[in-house]
A and B are shown apart, each in its own frame.
Chain A
């Protein structure tokens, strides 16, 4: 496909929604990182750089030739697995977990990239196994194996939040890829039965988080502190909010991680219910657009990949917001495009780039994103 035709088939709504979210995020990082009397410009500049890099990454992925993504999906997956092993052995420890790889001044979290790699690899696997009447139990097992490897590597870091995202992606893609309902039910039941086992393997602080989620007042200054302060921030925003830069929970440091995982608390304190509603609408639009592309793509791989990416964003958005609102235990999952952070920004933009790339297939008679199935029109 020629460059001009790629431009012509570009899915602008996807990028525009993302950029709108980035803009909101940027304003929010400024507000969230300011300390009384000290503006938070340093991180804003960094975040702006991440946005620009992210847009570049979006187009870099978008302009990959048709079929390249599907062709390299497995290689990408293996490379990321290798990185996850490296990070476990030689990663930087931050906040008690080994999640980071340092490349000069550039720290990144391979677990973020692993989410896309898993999505693409699963899409490729499922598109190969797809058949009318649904995928059966035996074909589903290897998919679970593919997810279990990165799941365990990330869970060992330990980062249960990110690890859990893999399971959500697996479940979502299994639904889109038409795994039989019976099979889904079997795995669902097995998963539910595994929860007590998981509890057994949890570290003390992780159990504490779950317990304090159930009852934050157990430890108002310790583990329950985050939830309580976050709810206070959101609730005190009221209907119209305290106004931009007028929030106190963030600038006075009552909120933990106020520019990363709890960015939404800062936002909703200052913009209130109306602002939150608008932000939710934007996120819903993004998810809707991705599902739209899932349905419209003419290629199974493209379809499944878009579906996986939709689930990826849906999982992040819902878990993060639920956590900030006190509906979910505190886990380290950022809000896409709004939270401060390079890895999250790059991953999000690359995922959207991939979705845009693959969904070009919807304009062809038969495939387009698919490998070697392009038919000139």
Chain B
């Protein structure tokens, strides 16, 4: 067998046909090569990017939110670890079944249907994300979930951070609360620093000081496999914790204020008159900010907002009330400053005062007899102040009261402050185009009529009386330590110094001391060893015709608001406390004991130190 043998039997057709197929093969390979050239050479950059996006994920490392501390360094808002139930949409196999099982174990942050919707939309738009559906699980819940591991492929329990308020409802209206940033808030954040699921301050100090408290999120660039599971850490930028906010609040006073107000509606505010520092600021009923931090359910939110006693309203700076007799010292002060009435001038009180055909009653039906300014304040004689109101007229009263801070924005560093109203002739012209009537001046003398004030304004006004005309801006925040370590201190800020005659100031203080200590209406605030000076107020909500009825016998909604505002010690005032109880009845019996309790606690801790040790 040598060499090539020419094919005999082979038909040339077979050769031709085979060649044809070979050409088809060449064609197919050329096509494939062209395709590979397109993918690997022409479009290569695009696919390289896609491959990188495939394998690399940027995971947010949430920065812990900073502390808020009271004046003794005790944390009143802190960040704690919590077991959170997190959903990874891409791993969910049967969403309804898994949610159904979980609903028996935990309570979701939002309604079950909302959870379903949230996960479904994430499954479409961002399947590799993680969604927190329930926060702060109890240990038993965690163990039940772990026990059902196999039936819950899309869910896992992770350790997250939760905002925690150790004093519960006590600081609700001062601290506010945090919540997940809304899409609008994320758009508005200046540098896009807000990530989905980040918590931001929504109310109170949490909102006001958000840029201090909120840290800077870090990130972990990780390589993931196709299931989204982390394989390798590629790069890490650590998170930076938020800064701290130091406040002038005293947790002991705050708790005391809450305890003594109890479940009544109202506000208790304590200030340091010389600096404007807020020592306590409680508004009741309050809400529990811890519930908001977990994520509040719609039904609970609606319940809070439809409660007639308005637990979401900060009554200390948003509620305005007729001040009643608490305005009397300001009228007396105005009379002295304007030299309109000597303090020794006697006014006869027969139990009522007649102007034209109107009769204005004194709270003491049988009358006070002849009273001078001191007695009139101590006994809270209405007839004396009817005549004084008429004599001074609205404009003189309004000027002094506004100077002292009543009916003005006090400028406290808490959001949402509203101002009350101190009426004068100009105001009357503006709102009704009618002339100011004399009877309005008369009832103005006892803090009724158009006048209505916030408890905070009242506290600031009494602080001005206590200091002899120093109107300080009330401050909650004393120091902010930024996340960069920079310290910002907020020093006391005097809004104005009123040129009041010290002799007049001395007289008013003495008279207010008399209210408490000289058989006056405020005896309920008397403290052993410390001279307290203050003034009661019982503000009518509705006028009841005919016979005088005891406020306690009226239905709740039309009962009088009870006020007591005081400072102590009278010689060198260190603390001003304003207490207002909505529909509380008499100032002397409902509000004065609150002030007494807060002051007692203040002077007790001053001498023996704080009861609760702690802090950062």
Q: Do A and B come from the same complex?
A: yes
The residues of A with any CB-CB pair to B shorter than 8 Å are: 35-36, 130, 132, 134, 172, 175-178, 221, 229, 231-239, 248-249, 252-254, 268-269, 272-273, 276-277, 280, 283-284, 287-288, 291, 294-300, 303, 307, 310-311, 314, 318, 321-322, 325-327, 363-367, 377
Of the A-B pairs whose beta carbons lie under 8 Å apart in the complex, a sample of 18, sorted by A's number, is A177-B14, A178-B13, A234-B47, A235-B50, A236-B48, A238-B44, A249-B54, A276-B40, A287-B25, A295-B10, A303-B10, A307-B21, A314-B28, A325-B35, A325-B39, A363-B5, A364-B5, A365-B5
Known A-B contacts A238-B40, A253-B227, A314-B28; the reply to A134 vs B13 at CB < 8 A is: yes
Q: Given A175-B20, A239-B40, A310-B21, do A366 and B15 touch, yes or no (CB 8 Å)?
A: no
Asked if B41 CB lies within 8 Å of chain A CBs, one says yes
> What A residues does B22 contact at CB under 8 A?
287-288, 291
B48 to chain A, nearest CB (A): 4
Q: A291-B25, A295-B15 are in contact. Are A321 and B32 (CB under 8 A)?
A: yes
Which of B18, B24, B31, B55 interacts with A248 by CB under 8 Å? B55
User: Which of A277, A291, A367 sits near B21, CB closer than 8 Å?
Assistant: A291
* Contact A299-B9, Cβ < 8 Å, known A36-B225, A252-B225, A280-B29: yes
Instruction: Supply 8 further A-B pairs (C-beta < 8 A) apart from A176-B17, A252-B223, A291-B25.
Output: A178-B11, A273-B37, A295-B19, A298-B8, A303-B14, A314-B24, A314-B28, A322-B35
- How distant is the Cα of A234 from the Cα of B36 in the complex, in angstroms? 8
- Rounded to whole angstroms, the CA-CA distance of A249 and B44 in the bound complex is 14
- CB pair A366 B9 closer than 8 Å: yes
Contact check: which of B15, B36, B54 meets A277 at CB < 8 Å?
B36
**Given the complex, which residues of A lie within 8 Å of B13, measured CB to CB?**
132, 134, 178
How long is the Cα–Cα vector from A303 to B7 in the complex, in angstroms?
12
Is the CB–CB distance between B8 and A232 below 8 Å? no
What is the interface residue range for chain B against chain A?
Answer: 35 or more
Could you tell me if A239 and B55 are in contact, using CB atoms closer than 8 angstroms? no
Given contacts A176-B21, A236-B44, A238-B40, contact A254 B226 (CB under 8 A): yes
Neighbour of A233 across the interface among B17, B26, B51, CB < 8 A: B51
Beyond A249-B51, A254-B226, whether A234 also contacts B25 by CB under 8 A is no
**Chain A residues whose C-beta falls within 8 Å of the C-beta of B20 in the assembled complex:** 175
Cα(A237)–Cα(B19), bound, Å? 34
Q: Is A132's CB under 8 angstroms from B11's CB?
A: yes
Are A363 and B9 in contact (CB-based, < 8 A)?
no
Judging by beta carbons under 8 Å apart, are A237 and B232 in contact?
no
Contact of A280 among B5, B11, B18, B32 (CB under 8 A): B32
| Bound form: Cα–Cα A132–B8 in Å | 14
Q: B48 and A364: CB pair below 8 A?
A: no
CA distance A181 to B287 in the complex (A): 89
Partner of B225 from A237, A253, A297, A310 at Cβ < 8 Å: A253
A302 to B231, CA, bound (A): 54
A273→B36 contact, CB < 8 A: yes
Q: Compute how far the CA of A252 lies from the CA of B47 in the bound complex, rounded to whole angstroms.
A: 16
Q: Enumerate chain B residues within 8 angstroms of A288, measured Cβ to Cβ.
A: 22, 25
Over the window 26-68 of chain B, the binary record of Cβ atoms lying under 8 Å from chain A Cβ atoms (1 yes, 0 no) is 1011011101110111011011101100110000000000000
A268 shortest CB reach to chain B, Å: 7
The proximity string for B residues 57-90 relative to A, scoring 1 for CB distances below 8 Å and 0 otherwise, is: 0000000000000000000000000000000001
Q: How far is the CA of A326 from the CA of B47 in the complex (A)?
A: 13
B39 engages A231 (CB within 8 Å)? yes
Known: A236-B47, A272-B40. A363 touches B1 (CB 8 A): yes
CA distance A287 to B18 in the complex (A): 11
The answer to whether A284 touches B29 (Cβ under 8 A) is yes
CB neighbours (8 Å) of B39 from chain A are: 231, 234-235, 325-326
Known contacts: A178-B14, A298-B7. The answer to whether A235 contacts B225 by CB under 8 A is no
Q: Which residues of A contact B226 (CB under 8 A)?
A: 229, 252-254
**Which residue from chain A places its CB closest to the CB of B28 in the assembled complex?**
A318
The CA of A178 and the CA of B397, in the complex, are separated in Å by 120
Question: Are B25 and A314 in contact, with the CB atoms below 8 A?
Answer: yes
Least distance between B75 CB and chain A CB atoms (Å):
43
Q: Which of A236, A268, A277 lies at the interface centre, i.e. has the most chain B CB atoms within 10 A of its CB?
A: A236
- The reply on B218 being an interface residue by CB < 8 A is no
Contact between chains at A237 and B40 (CB < 8 Å) = yes
* B residues near A318, Cβ cutoff 8 Å: 25, 28-29, 32
Per-residue A-contact encoding for B155-174, CB less than 8 Å = 1, 0 else: 00000000000000000000
A232 adjacent to B47 (CB under 8 Å): yes
Are B51 and A236 in contact, with the CB atoms below 8 A? yes
Q: In the complex, what residues of B have CB within 8 A of residue A326's CB?
A: 35, 39
Residues of A within 8 A of B225 (CB): 35-36, 252-254
A367 to B46: give the CA distance in the assembly, Å. 56
> Does B350 lie at the interface of the complex (its beta carbon under 8 Å from any beta carbon of A)?
no
Tell me whether A295 and B18 are in contact (CB under 8 A).
Answer: yes
Q: CB of B224 within 8 A of chain A?
A: yes
Give the Cβ gap from A355 to chain B, nearest Cβ, in Å: 13
Residues of chain A with a CB closer than 8 A to B32's CB: 280, 318, 321-322, 325, 327
Whether A238 lies near B11 (C-beta < 8 A) is no
Measured between beta carbons, the chain B residues less than 8 angstroms from A277 are 33, 36
B127 within 8 A of partner (CB): yes
Cα–Cα distance between A298 and B37 once the two chains are bound (Å): 40
Chain B residue with the shortest CB-CB distance to A179: B17
Please give the distance in Å from A133's CB to the nearest CB on chain B. Answer: 9
Contact across chains for B14 and A276 when beta carbons are under 8 A apart: no
Closest A residue to B32 by CB, please name it.
A321
- In angstroms, Cα B55 to Cα A249, docked, is 8
Q: Is the CB of B51 within 8 A of A232?
A: yes
Chain A residue numbers with a CB within 8 Å of B90 are: 221
In the assembled complex, how far is the CB of residue B26 from the closest CB belonging to chain A, in whole angstroms? 8
